[in-house]
């Protein structure tokens, strides 16, 4: 089991939550889990596109009230 980190990107519209995810991803290693909280609606298509193009794993993507919660597993680092 890797480490788990939560990234709070709520209230972040510009630059969006991907900016915070990028910082957390740099620190992470394969097997780690990153949870991202966001309120920017653009984050839903963005995280899907990010997962698709980077080849990491999306474990969960949910919206509860105004808050989007994505959980990813880091799998695509060399």
Partner 1 sequence: MNGEKVLVVGGGAGGLLVSNLLVGDGREVTLVTNNPEHYFQPANLFIAFKGESPESYKRSVESLLDPKVRLILDKLSKLDLGNRTALTERGKRLEYDYVIVAAGARMDYNSLPGMKENFEMFGDYYSSPEAAVKVWNTVSRMKNGKLIIGVPDLIIKCPPAPHKGVFLAAEFFKKEKRDVTVELLYPSPHIYTEAELAKTIESKMKSFSNIEYRTSFLIDSVDKDRKVVIGMNGEEIKYDALVLIPFHKGPEIDVNPAEARDDDGFIKVDKRKLNITSYDDAFAIGDCNNAPTSKTGVAAHLGAFVVWKRINGRNAEYSGRTNCPLITDDEAIFVISDYDHKPVGQRFSRLKRLMEDLFVAMYFPSLRYPRKFEPIFDVYFNATEPNILGEKGW
Q: Rule CB under 8 A: is residue 59 a binding residue for partner 1?
A: no
Based on the residue annotation, tell me whether 28 is a catalytic residue of this protein: no
Between CA 40 and CA 1 the distance in angstroms is 30
Tokens at 74, concatenated: 């880091």
Rounded least distance, CB 64 to partner 1, Å: 20
Question: Catalytic one among 1, 14, 26, 66?
Answer: 14
The residue within the footprint of partner 1, chosen from 3, 6, 23, 59 (CB under 8 A), is 23
Which DSSP helix (H) or strand (E) runs through 23?
Answer: helix 17-27
Q: Residue 17 CA to chain centroid, in angstroms? A: 8
Tokens representing 10?
Answer: 């709520």
Asked if 15 interacts with partner 1 (CB under 8 A), we say yes
DSSP-assigned letter for residue 9: E
Q: Which residues bind partner 1 (CB under 8 A)?
A: 9-16, 18-20, 22-23, 25-26, 40-42, 45-46, 49-50, 52-55, 76-78
């Amino acid at each position: 089991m890797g480490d788990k980190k939560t990234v709070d990107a709520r209230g972040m519209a510009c630059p969006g939550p991907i900016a915070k995810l990028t910082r957390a991803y740099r620190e992470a290693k394969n097997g780690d889990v990153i949870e991202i909280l966001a309120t920017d609606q653009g984050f839903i298509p963005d995280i899907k596109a990010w997962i698709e193009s980077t080849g990491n794993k999306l474990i969960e993507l949910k919206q509860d009230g105004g808050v989007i919660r994505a959980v990813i597993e880091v799998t695509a680092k060399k």
